[in-house]
């Protein structure tokens, strides 16, 4: 025979009665309020553990008019850049007492982003972070920004409240590193140029070469993936007058480059230097370890949450710039005489 408490989910009243305290005291323990004596806190926590009590999120939302849920819409989540941004945002949200509802977009279309943001509204999300790589996803965020507080992670110039790692500064540091080593023939493999980050990195590469009075190098548009880096790397390997260095738009394409050069018997970095972008997991363990640009997604996540909470609370979000860092490893060296 079971008791009423065993037959149903335990409530805050059950915890209070068994612990011999008020419901207010239980609430204070749950919310880590400091005004609870240590022995009382331990007693209440023991009862919570014994009963398996869990707060009713739906009831709490109705009572407080707050869901403590934030939406995050992500495209290209399998790539290190978007996945790193998502992780940084999620960790910052948890530290701030929020839970993240994530929608992964397969396509970069306005319709799919529209559906994701409407889903967040249906969930009662208090706000959303949109990782917007291109114009259609940015347009979708703009259309719903008056109905839902939104912070956009994008390198585009937009009237929306936005944040991103300074893509141009990162690309300049990558190219300047190669120039400082003495390279004068520097190629670039970009990401898809209809995406803001790829276009920004490619533009910075071109401008930095011109600033150094160097001729435009070999250029090819890629798609962020290793297979494309490999195919373009094979084309570079077959050239009679190969560039002495390649700036890859991200680490994944750089991985493909390294494979192509290895198969062609071209030594990195003594015959050709390679720089990536993202500091992806494993980039330090390649052969040779990859020189790359690190994006501080942890800091970016903190800023995203700070800005979004300010927007939710009706304040003007602070402005932040996340500066990338050059990580020099063994895939770059001065050109061979």
CATH code of the domain covering residue 308: 3.40.50.2300
Mean pLDDT over 235-261 rounds to 97
Of residues 284 and 133, more confidently modeled? 284
Query: Residue 47 belongs to what domain range?
Result: 4-55
What is residue 3's predicted lDDT score, i.e. its pLDDT?
47
pLDDT at residue 209 in the model: 98
pLDDT of residue 5: 45
Phi, psi (deg, nearest 5) at residue 148: -145, 130
Give the pLDDT mean for 160-181: 96
The residue among 30, 55, 80 that closes a domain is 55
Q: Inform me whether the pLDDT recorded for 9 exceeds 80.
A: no
* Mean pLDDT computed over 237-253: 97
Question: Band of the pLDDT at 129, cuts 50, 70, 90?
Answer: very high
Name the nearest CA neighbour of 75 among 144, 149, 123, 140. Answer: 140
Could you give the percent of the chain with pLDDT greater than 70? Answer: 93
Instruction: Give the pLDDT confidence score for residue 208 in this predicted structure.
Output: 98
In this structure, the answer to whether residues 201 and 311 fall within a common structural domain is no
**Mean pLDDT value of segment 142-146:** 89
- Structural domain includes residue 240: yes
Q: Are residues 199 and 222 in the same domain?
A: yes
HSE-up of 199 (CA within 13 Å, CB side)? Answer: 11
Strand order in the sheet with 69-75: 99-105, 69-75, 127-131, 150-153, 162-163
Give yes or no: residues 317 and 249 share one domain.
no
Q: Which two tokens stand for residue 278?
A: 């993202």
pLDDT of residue 288: 98
Predicted pLDDT of residue 1: 41
| Three-state DSSP string of 217-228 | CCEEECCCCHHH
Residues 223 and 149 grouped into a single domain: no
Residue 60 predicted with pLDDT over 60: no
Q: Residue 122, exposed/middle/buried by CB under 10 A (0-12, 13-18, 19+)?
A: exposed
**Are 161 and 174 contained in the same domain?**
no
Tell me, what's the pLDDT at 57?
Answer: 46
Same domain flag for 213 and 95:
no
pLDDT of residue 138: 92
Mean pLDDT of the chain: 89
Phi-psi region of 145 (alpha: psi -120 to 50; beta: other; left: phi over 0): alpha
Q: Is the pLDDT of residue 92 over 70?
A: yes
Same domain flag for 142 and 186: no
Residue 291 located in a structural domain: yes
Q: Which residue matches tokens 């898809």?
A: 192
Indicate whether 317 and 280 sit together in one domain.
no
294/201 Cα distance (integer angstroms): 14
> Over pLDDT 90: what percentage of the chain?
56
Cis geometry, peptide bond prior to residue 269 (ω within 30 degrees of 0): yes
Mean local confidence (pLDDT), 151-173: 93
Range of weakest confidence among 6-10, 67-71, 187-191, 304-308: 6-10
Confidence (pLDDT) at 61: 45
Count up the domains in the chain and report the number.
3
For residue 7, pLDDT over 60 is answered with: no
- Is the same domain home to 277 and 311? no
Q: What is the pLDDT of residue 22?
A: 86
User: Which of 79-88, 137-146, 229-238 shows the lowest mean pLDDT across its residues?
Assistant: 79-88
Cβ-based burial of 195 (10 A; exposed 0-12, middle 13-18, buried ≥19): buried
**CA–CA separation, 243 vs 111, rounded Å?**
42
- Residue 37: CATH number of its domain: 1.10.260.40
Looking at 14, 29, 55, the residue that finishes a domain is 55
CA 305 vs CA 128, 148, 229, 281, 324: distances in Å: 9, 15, 34, 24, 19
Question: Of 33, 55, 77, which residue constitutes the final position of a domain?
Answer: 55
pLDDT in tens, 184-227: 999 999 999 999 999 999 999 999 999 999 999 999 999 999 99
Q: At a CB cut-off of 8 Å and minimum separation 6, what does 146 contact? A: none
At residue 199, the pLDDT reads: 97
Residue 336 lies in a domain: no
Alpha helix segments (H runs only) across the chain: 4-7, 12-19, 23-30, 38-51, 57-64, 80-95, 110-123, 135-144, 167-181, 196-211, 226-237, 251-263, 297-312
Q: Which two tokens stand for residue 310?
A: 């300010």
Is pLDDT larger for residue 49 or for residue 194?
Answer: 194
- 207 plus 278 within the same structural domain: yes
Most confident of 131-135, 291-295, 301-305: 291-295
Are 173 and 269 contained in the same domain?
A: yes
């Amino acid at each position: 025979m079971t008791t009423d408490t065993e037959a149903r989910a335990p409530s805050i009243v059950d915890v209070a009665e068994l612990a011999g305290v008020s419901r207010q005291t239980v609430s204070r323990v749950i919310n880590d309020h400091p005004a609870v004596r240590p022995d009382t806190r331990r007693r209440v926590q023991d009862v919570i553990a014994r009963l398996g009590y869990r707060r009713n999120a739906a009831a709490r939302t109705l009572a407080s008019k707050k869901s403590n849920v934030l939406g995050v819409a992500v495209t290209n989540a399998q790539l290190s850049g978007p996945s790193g941004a998502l992780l940084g945002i999620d960790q910052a949200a948890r530290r701030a007492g929020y839970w993240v509802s994530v929608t992964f977009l397969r396509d970069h279309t306005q319709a799919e982003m529209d559906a994701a943001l409407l889903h967040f509204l249906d969930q009662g999300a208090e706000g959303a972070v949109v990782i917007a790589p291109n114009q259609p996803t940015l347009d979708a965020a703009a259309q719903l920004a008056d109905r839902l507080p939104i912070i956009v992670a994008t390198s585009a110039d937009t009237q929306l409240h936005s944040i991103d790692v300074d893509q141009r500064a990162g690309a300049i540091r990558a190219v300047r590193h190669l120039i400082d080593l003495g390279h004068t023939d520097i190629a670039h493999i970009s990401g898809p140029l209809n995406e803001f980050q790829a276009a920004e990195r490619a533009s910075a590469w071109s401008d930095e070469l011109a600033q150094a009075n160097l001729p435009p190098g070999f250029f090819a548009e890629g798609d962020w993936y290793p297979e494309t880096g490999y195919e373009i790397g094979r084309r570079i390997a077959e050239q009679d007058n190969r560039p002495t260095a390649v700036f890859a738009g991200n680490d994944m394409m750089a991985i493909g480059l390294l494979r192509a050069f290895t198969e062609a018997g071209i030594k990195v970095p003594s015959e050709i230097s390679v720089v990536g972008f993202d500091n992806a997991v494993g980039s330090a363990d390649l052969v040779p370890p990859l020189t790359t640009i690190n994006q501080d997604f942890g800091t970016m996540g903190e800023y995203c949450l700070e800005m979004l909470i300010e927007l939710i609370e009706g304040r003007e979000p602070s402005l932040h710039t996340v500066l990338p860092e050059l990580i020099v490893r063994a895939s770059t060296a001065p050109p061979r005489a």
